[in-house]
Amino acid sequence: RENVEKIRKKYFQTGEMKSSRVSKNHKRRIKILSDLLKLNFTIFPVVFDKTECFNMQGLLYKKTFYKFMNNIVYKELRNGFEKLTVVADEIGTSDYMKSLGEADFLFHNSKNDVLIQLADFMAGTLSFSFDKNKMSEEAPDYYKILQPKIIRLMMYPKRYDNYILDTSSITE
């Protein structure tokens, strides 16, 4: 926490360390990442293809989508950790946040939690590798850059074609 705070102060002075504040300034993002990658943390990115998810009944609504997404992430994390508390950025109303489960989810304002800011920065950085609207020739391969910190990547929704072995030597 202390080391992330030092990096936040170095690059963002008094403001939050938010990916959106760096935007497409890839040189600045790389400098920040070079400092962050020296720290002891790991990430478990879950990439949701919203276009596929919105085709599913009920997920067109923001609250339903967030609840669905949080439940998937929580279930995956629960498989690896017996005791788990998820600390997330505040979203929606307090009633909505309570509906996600008070015992297992804690919500903090990102302005007061530099680790939530770190998560925001990592998610925003990875979006350049997975969001078709953000991918560009100018953007480095952030997925490759962050690979040493990634313990596992999960794509959702899971698709059948991800499991087809059409290029494998055992196909026949």
Higher local confidence (pLDDT), 110 or 70? 110
Q: What is the pTM of this model?
A: 0.80
Q: Which of 16-20, 31-35, 76-80 has the lowest mean pLDDT?
A: 76-80
In tens, the pLDDT along 78-104 reads 888 888 777 777 766 565 556 555 556
Residue 91, phi-psi category: left (phi > 0), alpha (psi -120 to 50), beta (remainder) = beta
Whether 110 and 120 have beta carbons less than 8 Å apart is answered as yes
Q: Collapse the DSSP code of 166 into the 3-class scheme (helix H, G, I; strand E, B; otherwise coil) and give the result.
A: coil
Whether 69 and 91 have beta carbons less than 8 Å apart is answered as no
Q: Rounded distance, CA 112 to CA 90, Å?
A: 11
Whether 42 and 146 have beta carbons less than 8 Å apart is answered as no
Q: Rounded distance, CA 95 to CA 74, Å?
A: 19
* Residues 6+ positions from 149 with CB-CB distance below 8 Å: 37, 41, 42, 43, 122
